[in-house]
Structure 1
């Protein structure tokens, strides 16, 4: 492709007040309105005692931040993207970035919890109004994981040297919900200081995530999946109180090591992965492994009788490529294996349970998605402002996933960046006639039918 005009024959002027760069915000924010976002904020978020009117019109401020994040904002200053061209003709109550920054800095821990309640109610409404979690009445997976987000500046509250030497981070914790037929959505999030242990507050967090899953329509089998940092009696107890199953990776402590080494050779079943997966220790791609099960393994045996748990210990073993097999004159004497156990009480057969547990890695895609969008920065020096920003990102993420679920099978599984570029960042020119507004969109837009379907659904009769 090349320019069709000489450089001297082209000029540019920012002077058209009838243009907008993000026409897709109209159906997306209409969907948010139909799911009661503003009403939830007005009901639950009460920023009392704030100065300079920071707590006034919280519903309009939350909607402005969510719309800005949907358009691609990853900092408070970027929220100014909502005040260009004809956007004020389509939306009322847009707030300036300085006002939104003051609003976020007014948050306390209690206000952050109020915003979590909004997030839970909003997810439940999105799941009720859109096919966000198909098959949730039969089986749903709740995945829990933490991540470290690098931050800069010593004045940023909660930023500490944690897991990574010489790097200051904040330490978000998140839980997602998915089904065998859907992409994950975010159940709940928590912002924590950089040095917080991975499992700090995990039992309470898991209880909230499982309760949120029920509110979102996950009334069938629920399985909590987590890595080894969440292998503790409190997390498993929270699952059992909620009537959910668990599937948690566990390290090779002495008790588990003795149990694994006692498995007879004939008990191992071969398994082949449809696509190669990286070995967590070496990074080598593997497509074949062997799986065995100990049907009744008692975990936490050193604790009180009430805290002990007896369930299945499923072990996957792969050849240890970092250690060559011992070879004698007649060939290989014995192979060297790496073992990857997990503790579970879910009812699936051994090989299916292993495949489903390995799918826990889907939460890493959500974490990567977050760092490529609104969590590219944690924009404030105030800890609770960043906590609110994290929750608002989760609400925006779920809103865009719901919009994608209303369009096409491709967009149901697309990343946030793809949803934004196909459905939100669509330029348009506005005309008005007979008290009606018409959006004139680009001719031959590749996803025009998908966009039109989203627009018609969001503006159609309420279901």
Structure 2
């Protein structure tokens, strides 16, 4: 492809917009009740809190369109955006609104985010498709790196990176990709499990209100292998599947597994043996009954299953002594679970916990690319709004097409949200002229038609 002519350029068209996909997305947000929820819950005082519904809506719209800082919110004020949307606010006004938040106001946003997710699940039935049978609640934390000394709450955590810590909880099903059920920004030096029990309880309550009436399993890595995390999952009526730390008790339990109990699994480079009807693989799985947290009082002991995956070491001589001499030929990964699934199914389901890393990566390449304010409470509010924008984008993808239902946020943004259009007036209404032969025209039309349709009647 070559440029066909000599060009000049002028920014002079008042009727062009670069983000036409925001029209159906914000229609979807309004039909799910975003403005009403903000009016009901947000009580930021003074001029900073005036017209909170307008300001929160603008912040969410900017994040959906790709804004990762307060100054980026200016993208909502170009060309014909004043015709597509009403009551625009300058980035400085939006920044002042965020700085008006305190801890209690951030919790108000949490209430809005959970209720909006429930409304979206009713508005977009495919958002949590299959949740009436199987749902997974994944919880993990991540460090959002910061620089300089101006930001409140920064510190050095387990990763050795200076920044702020975000705790994330997601809901997904085998048929539906994750949505965010909880997001909380914390100090950078905090331990991973801080506040996890409360977030799990709130996320499970949100999941039930969103219609996930089947088997719910909470999954987490070894940083959350703690009694209070397991207890919170159980109190919420869910099963647990948590990576066990390789402490002395776990190593001793693994050592008691007989060699004949290991079963090969389908793993990279595995070969199916037709004669023996099994996988020949470097990865094998076995299980053993196990009681965890025996250092606590007897009422806190938890009896369940320890499912162990082992993989041959390429260089056994380099193995550390932490797993004992008997285990140096293999790397072992133990999962403590009360899942009713079979051993192989439960182990494979736990490996899918890695799906939350995709959500974290999407956030870090989107709204959480920066923590835009020096005030900790403002950054906390920004993180919750990022979760709301993520769920809106995911819902838009589900309405658009099967491909976009599972696509990454950046893909949905590039193909559906950031679609250029020219606004024209026809028969006393506004018409969007979109590019001819747009590759994702059918998906965009499906999103536009569905976002403007009435709310379906409750079951």
Return the TM-score normalized by structure 1: 0.92
1:151-170 deviation per Cα after TM superposition (whole angstroms, max 9, x unaligned): 112010011122344x4210
Residue 215 (structure 1) aligns with: 209
Map 1:296-307 to 2 at 5 A: 296-307=289-300
Change (3 A) 1:412 1:288: farther
> Is 2:79 the partner of 1:85?
yes
Residue 310 (structure 1) aligns with: 303
Q: Give the SS at the match of 1:148.
A: strand
Residue 47 (structure 1) aligns with: 44
Change (3 A) 1:210 1:275: farther
1:98 pairs with one of 92, 100, 119: 92
Measure, in 2, the Cα distance between the counterparts of 1:24 and 1:287. Answer: 47
Measure, in 2, the Cα distance between the counterparts of 1:429 and 1:287. Answer: 57
1:325 touches 1:336 (CA, 8 Å); kept in 2? Answer: no
1:273 positional shift:
2.4
> Is 2:33 the partner of 1:36?
yes
Residue 116 (structure 1) aligns with: 110
**Which runs of 5 or more structure 2 residues have no equivalent in the other structure?**
271-279, 320-325
> Is 2:245 the partner of 1:251?
yes
Q: How many residues align?
A: 440
1:142 touches 1:176 (CA, 8 Å); kept in 2? Answer: yes
1:88-147 deviation per Cα after TM superposition (whole angstroms, max 9, x unaligned): 111112211000000000110000000000000000011111110100010100000000
Map 1:4-403 to 2 at 5 A: 4-6=4-6, 10-48=7-45, 50=46, 53-130=47-124, 131-165=126-160, 167-273=161-267, 288-294=282-288, 296-323=289-316, 336-403=329-396
Measure, in 2, the Cα distance between the counterparts of 1:113 and 1:128. Answer: 23
1:407 touches 1:454 (CA, 8 Å); kept in 2? Answer: yes
1:172 touches 1:189 (CA, 8 Å); kept in 2? Answer: yes
2:290 touches 2:306 (CA, 8 Å); kept in 1? Answer: yes
**Most deviating of 315-324 and 390-399:** 315-324
1:275 positional shift:
7.8
2:313 touches 2:329 (CA, 8 Å); kept in 1? Answer: yes
2:158 touches 2:191 (CA, 8 Å); kept in 1? Answer: no
1:356-381 deviation per Cα after TM superposition (whole angstroms, max 9, x unaligned): 00000000111111111111111000
Measure, in 2, the Cα distance between the counterparts of 1:322 and 1:105. Answer: 54
Measure, in 1, the Cα distance between the counterparts of 2:143 and 2:68. Answer: 17
Measure, in 2, the Cα distance between the counterparts of 1:275 and 1:422. Answer: 35
1:186-226 deviation per Cα after TM superposition (whole angstroms, max 9, x unaligned): 01011011100111122112111211211221111000000
Measure, in 2, the Cα distance between the counterparts of 1:55 and 1:460. Answer: 31
2:264 touches 2:281 (CA, 8 Å); kept in 1? Answer: no
Residue 3 (structure 2) aligns with: 3
